[in-house]
Structure 1
Amino acid sequence: MCLANLQAISPEMYEASRIDGANKFQQWLFITLPNMSGTFAFLLITGWIGGLQRFNEVYVLGGPSGSPARSIQTMGAFIYERGFTGFEFGIASAATYIMFIIILVFTFINLKVSKMKL
């Protein structure tokens, strides 16, 4: 994704900055980074969402409870354990809503920090 975004940056922007006397660091700081901020925001958001929903590795290593002593349990594993092994569907549903709210808050914070429009 980063390579595709780098290739999408117009070479004329770099040429114009070179003519204006910008060095490579200034080109990177004022052209490359601002043009790639959308990609960085997307990758950060999807990374956070993937980390919160991590389930397969936890289940393979420690079962649904994330053993030993629940040290590797994630939200996804907790929801699975409560909903499908403990049949506590209300708790699993509440945990799902909490996970959704956490992801939503992280997403808005990330978009605010990266100054992107919704």
Structure 2
Amino acid sequence: MTGILSGLLPPLSNDWAWRAAFIAGAIVAPALIIIVAGASAVPFESPVPTPWLIIGGLIVGIGVHFAGGCTSGHGVCGLARLSPRSIAATLIFMASTALTVFVVRHLLGGF
């Protein structure tokens, strides 16, 4: 998703049209489901406020961009080919995840 979205930022890539259609579909499709089937068709309850979810998603997207891929890309494909960059990225992902869980559960009182 991050790679697709980054292709829509200046300078535009030559394949911007399918990227724009993909992002538009990812936004419009859930809205159409709610309109057609009703809000109860997509039950979603979270103890975390929506703004925090959005901020978290943006932070993850930025991290994916700077890491050159996501956890599954580095953890599955990169480790399988013994890429030093993927090994480092996977170790950093795991360490930051453990640290985040510790901070949220023990220092912030959990959600």
Q: Report the TM-score, using the length of structure 2 for normalisation.
A: 0.33
Is the radius of gyration larger for structure 1 or structure 2?
1
TM-score by length of 1: 0.32
